[in-house]
Amino acid sequence: MRTQVCIIGGGPSGLLLSQLLHLKGIDTIVLERQSRAYVLSRIRAGVLETGLCNLLRKAGAGERMDREGFIHGGTLLAAEGRKFRIDFDGLIGKSVMVYGQTEVTRDLYDARDRMDGKIIHDVDGTTIHSADTDAPYVTFVKDGTEQRVDCEWVAGCDGFHGVSRKTIPDSVLRQYEKVYPFGWLGILSETPPVDDELIYANHERGFALCSMRNANLSRYYIQAPVDDPLGKWSDDTFWDELRRRLPAEAADRMVTGPSIEKSIAPLRSFIAEPMRWGRLFLVGDAAHIVPPTGAKGLNLAASDVHYLSDALIRLYDENYSAGIETYSANALARVWKASRFSWWMTSTLHRFPTQTAFDQNMQEAELSYLENSRAAQTALAENYVGLPY
Ligand code: APR
Ligand code: PHB
């Protein structure tokens, strides 16, 4: 097989990139290790920045989001039993879209299908060859047969555990990581959300987050030891702990119900540089991971796709190569800023096992400053809704 851009990974990054390039006449093949059903079974975050919403509309995959998504003009923070609101609309005139990432991925698959996009599922042994030459190619095994894709560029959209980042030589790759000493225990329940907007809570027992997918589907998280066995957390135990960490008025009105999904996820900050090696580009989680506190994972993948799709389109349309040359620097500039925000939100809202009384007072001072300063709230707002591309 031959294509212009071989995309490894059929998650949000790979699908969005493939769709944007195809719309400009650039041929792609997407290689995905899992089945489509498996990819669509993943439960992930659900807060979309304006930049991502605009890219989905540009890709012809935004119609259901605009119909079913919820525009949120602010978010709620809670600490020491009190609650205050960060008014995105009032402070900076912007908002976010609350719409499940699973639905984003589904809409992207549907858009690819409408354009007869070439996506090969259930591939094994994906290997990138000669990425540092002008003739890269990718091999993989499908139904026991090895196959080869000759291409002009390779986009590594294969997530944190993919092969793309590992293809870059250790002598070239720089990696930065911070692993947080806790995880997020999350559940999905067919219950009405506890509030109209998200609630991020800092409590002495640990962090809690109240989110949603629609008027009868709620998503809740509590900070928990990352090695806790799921069996330790019955639904009732989860609901009781969640309510302990929320202001009484929220806890009292919370509607509980059986969990339809329950999982514990680790939290880490991770960034790999550079995001390009020869004709291989890293995109999304293949290059960076953020703790979910700032809801930046999918949104950072989107800005990577924005930079790379623009660069490739201008290269093919105008023989303009500057975008390709500056892709890594442009993408990383935004990645580091979003990573800082995600680290700051995580540090401000979680209880750390080793934190001292001084650390605790710093958190309380940070939250008090945030509650009472327009400047501090504006800074949070502009980072949360998304810094410009
Ligand atoms: N070969 C082919 N496909 C692979 C390989 C491989 N060797 N390794 C991983 N993949 C696939 C995975 O099965 C997954 O579907 O690559 C895809 C990567 O998708 P994500 O992990 O979702 O990463 P990305 O598309 O960058 O999305 C970033 O979406 O999924 C969330 O947490 C993620 O919020 C982040 C955002
Ligand atoms: C979610 O709805 O899953 C969600 C929302 C906001 C976050 C993280 C996760 O910061």
**Could you report the per-residue pLDDT of 3-12, keeping only the tens digit for each?**
999 999 999 9
- Among all ligands shown, which has an atom nearest to the Cα of 48? 2
Q: Which two tokens stand for residue 52?
A: 């991502």
Kindly state the DSSP code that residue 2 receives in the 8-state scheme.
B
pLDDT band at 362 (very low <50, low <70, confident <90, very high): very high
pLDDT band at 258 (very low <50, low <70, confident <90, very high): very high
Reported as a single tens digit per residue, the pLDDT across 173-183 is: 999 999 999 99
Is residue 199 pLDDT above 90, yes or no?
A: yes
Residue 19 lies in a domain: yes
Residue 118 lies in a domain: yes
Check whether residue 185 and residue 219 sit in a common domain.
yes
Check whether residue 161 and residue 256 sit in a common domain.
no
The Å distance, Cα 32 to ligand 1 centre, comes to 8
Burial 362-389 (b: 16+ CB within 10 A, else e): ebeebbeebbeeeebbbbbbbbbbbbeb
Asked if residues 262 and 186 have their Cβ atoms less than 8 Å apart, the reply is: yes
Residue 299 CB–ligand 2 contact under 6 Å:
no
Residue 76 lies in a domain: no
pLDDT band at 45 (very low <50, low <70, confident <90, very high): confident
Q: Give the pairing of strands 276-277 and 28-31.
A: unpaired
- Domain of residue 186 covers 180-266+352-385
Whole-number pLDDT of residue 120:
98
The 3-state DSSP composition of the chain as helix, strand, coil percent (nearest 5) reads 40, 30, 30
The Å distance, Cα 210 to ligand 2 centre, comes to 8
Pocket test for ligand 2, best of 43, 184, 187, 198 (most atoms within 8 A of CB): 198
**Ligand 1, atom 36: nearest CA belongs to which residue?**
298
Check whether residue 356 and residue 255 sit in a common domain.
yes
Is residue 43 pLDDT above 90, yes or no?
A: no
Check whether residue 206 and residue 244 sit in a common domain.
yes
Kindly state the DSSP code that residue 3 receives in the 8-state scheme.
-
Assign 134 to helix, strand or coil.
coil
Averaged pLDDT, 187-206: 97
Check whether residue 163 and residue 302 sit in a common domain.
yes
Helix (H) or strand (E) holding 125: strand 124-129
Check whether residue 315 and residue 367 sit in a common domain.
no
Residue 300 lies in a domain: yes
DSSP 181-245: EEEEEEEEESS--SSSS-EEEE-TT--EEEEEEETTEEEEEEEE-TT--GGG--HHHHHHHHHHT
Check whether residue 48 and residue 184 sit in a common domain.
no
pLDDT, the chain, mean: 97
Check whether residue 282 and residue 338 sit in a common domain.
yes
Residue 77 lies in a domain: no
Q: Give the pairing of strands 174-189 and 259-273.
A: antiparallel
Reported as a single tens digit per residue, the pLDDT across 130-161 is: 999 999 999 999 999 999 999 999 999 999 99
Check whether residue 64 and residue 115 sit in a common domain.
yes
Is residue 282 pLDDT above 90, yes or no?
A: yes
CATH number, domain with residue 285: 3.50.50.60
Query: Could you give the residue numbers annotated as active site?
Result: 72, 200, 292, 296, 384
Whole-number pLDDT of residue 324:
98
Amino acid identity at 144: G
pLDDT band at 24 (very low <50, low <70, confident <90, very high): very high
Q: Which atom of ligand 2 is nearest to the CA of 101?
A: 3
The most distant pair of C-alpha atoms in the chain lies apart, rounded to whole Å, by 63
Residue 84 lies in a domain: no
Our measurement of the distance from residue 94's CA atom to the centroid of its chain's CA atoms, rounded to an integer in Å, reads 20
Residue 211 CB–ligand 2 contact under 6 Å:
yes
Torsion over CA: 85, 87, 88, 92 (sign): negative
**Ligand 1, atom 31: nearest CA belongs to which residue?**
298
Whole-number pLDDT of residue 318:
97
* Rounded Cα–Cα distance for residues 231 and 229 (Å): 5
- Bridge partners of 208, per DSSP, are 201, 222
Sheet of strand 137-142: strand arrangement: 124-129, 137-142, 145-150
Phi, psi of 73 (to 5 degrees): -90, 5
**Ligand 1, atom 26: nearest CA belongs to which residue?**
284
**Ligand 2, atom 7: nearest CA belongs to which residue?**
295
Residue 237 lies in a domain: yes
Check whether residue 282 and residue 215 sit in a common domain.
no
Check whether residue 18 and residue 157 sit in a common domain.
yes
Residue 371 lies in a domain: yes
Is residue 66 pLDDT above 90, yes or no?
A: yes
Whole-number pLDDT of residue 44:
87
Is residue 80 pLDDT above 90, yes or no?
A: no
Residue 383 CB–ligand 2 contact under 6 Å:
no
How many folded domains does the chain comprise? 2
Helices 50-58 and 101-114 meet at what angle, rounded to 10? 20
The Å distance, Cα 1 to ligand 2 centre, comes to 40
Asked if residues 162 and 178 have their Cβ atoms less than 8 Å apart, the reply is: no
Instruction: Identify the burial level of 302 via C-beta atoms within 10 angstroms of its C-beta, where 0-12 means exposed, 13-18 middle and 19 or more buried.
Output: buried
The Å distance, Cα 161 to ligand 2 centre, comes to 22
Q: C-alpha distances in angstroms, 356 versus 224, 229, 360, 362, 364?
A: 19, 28, 6, 10, 13
Check whether residue 36 and residue 110 sit in a common domain.
yes
CATH number, domain with residue 375: 3.30.9.10
Whole-number pLDDT of residue 220:
98
* Rounded Cα–Cα distance for residues 293 and 291 (Å): 6
The Å distance, Cα 211 to ligand 2 centre, comes to 6
